[in-house]
Structure 1
């Protein structure tokens, strides 16, 4: 059997499907992945057939000329139309899979859409993820339903014409609801049930598999290992692929120092760096969070689904500084579970972050974070792999 997996987005979108691919291969089947071009080497390095789709997902360089963005919807149709040959089942990861279901429909093979956060599922229990620059606010049931209706209208305004144009090229009938079409009536939720339980989804049959986690055997770099061994557990601060203001590094380091802690500063796409040559701070690039997080006192991060579950598995308290989309949901869940707190991005300062660190370091929070670690499932990718093989018949 051969599986086609389509993923669009940053590393946080691609890494879970790579974890799934590893498990499917372990069951004796082939996997072909369509991913943004800058992840080809990484995916190929794990031994998978990788096809470029879309544009590179990376931080723009200061002063670089704008890169022309093609019609990414049509690009998905064109790429998957070729990649699907010989495949027996198609899986698309996240809601922005405009072509995968149509390609599977044309080929007459099963299709599965998988989501990484409960807030991506239309539900009266929560508002939809906010647009960039907007915060996520809980609402009433009626208010949430109204906001989901507005969200569906926005998706249609943005994409319906192009999706139907490309479906017509395939000889398929038009659709009238892009979001619902992309999600399907039977989506999978690739999120841990303790951290992100599935909400009520009228008209949908949701299968929650657990989070798709990719084991990382890489050791920590020797300088980082020496830093960790040289004192008390530090504070980890990092925002992954999120853009951050230039003064963010100063705020993060000063806040950790105010809390009496050393700092491991993850540079990320914002290219954060030390503000002085103090021995209490070390800057790192991409490192193995599975090895690092058990060694830190607190993890300060943006609230990506992968980072949130990695910190929860390590039993480390969290301070979430959400920037957009599902990050606000994960910040709320961290607070609800009592395993940390959050700082809204608009009020991030040395003072607010230092106060959040003091709260996260309370014994009750540390105890709850440690207990929650035992509740987090680690076999979500294996569960999903078995279901995917079964779906292919």
Structure 2
């Protein structure tokens, strides 16, 4: 699926040096561009149209000094966010994307509010394979134990990031979920209950079983109660990192969405073994996730690959965005076999269907 941008290209020494400097100053550029967006500079320039605005005209609004405008907009210009034409700043194409593209805005908020401060400890985290950057928010072994208590704006930005990619996919995959007419459906990693609510609305007969940490299940339970469907669901507070914690049995279908990427390969192997044991005679497993090797466009692969340091530094210390072949290998070792794979769901999801190996 992946294009060849990440393969070796012929690059001049001068071009390579320029690209290296972009990396060196990346954190500085990020903060200046974010400031220009959040503080309204980019919107003011966009409102002026192609003619743009001079620094003096922008300063006349009283919102920024000439000094601040020059510092910020010159950096934005270097990044292709604005351009300077006869002494006036106008919005460039990248600036238009920042102002209008939801994915870009969610990614900026996520990286600033959740990841930025914590990334200072990435070196130590990689050496230890423990989420040492998490200390900027609280004293939890992983992010998931503290997610319900995550301070603002980090919590809202985390949820927006998580839900943007999953919510757009749920409507498209409901026919896949109910293709085998499951009556007992287990949602592992139920989080806030959005998938469970979608499944209950799609099929009036299905009984849902939600598996997650107690804090997440409390949020999901409130959502189910508010929707008037609490009686159709059973909650199972389980820490999947406990290899001895068994799952409810005799399931027709087990669903995991953006869940296994929260764990190390060893933990994923353990989860797959318990999932296989929890299936009924003809039960199946559906795994929906964002695999960087199954993306049509390099831009999607780029975003996914660069989400892995978050998983390392904040989420768990030893998880990442995986290749699809990693999941298939670990599932097969647990006694499952890949039946089908479907790509192009939502923004960047793929759906893997597994059954019991014969």
Alignment TM-score > 0.5, same fold: no
Q: TM tier, shorter chain?
A: under 0.3
Structure number with the higher helix fraction is: 2
Structure possessing the higher radius of gyration over alpha carbons:
2
TM-score, with structure 1 as normaliser: 0.26
TM-score (ref. length: structure 2): 0.28
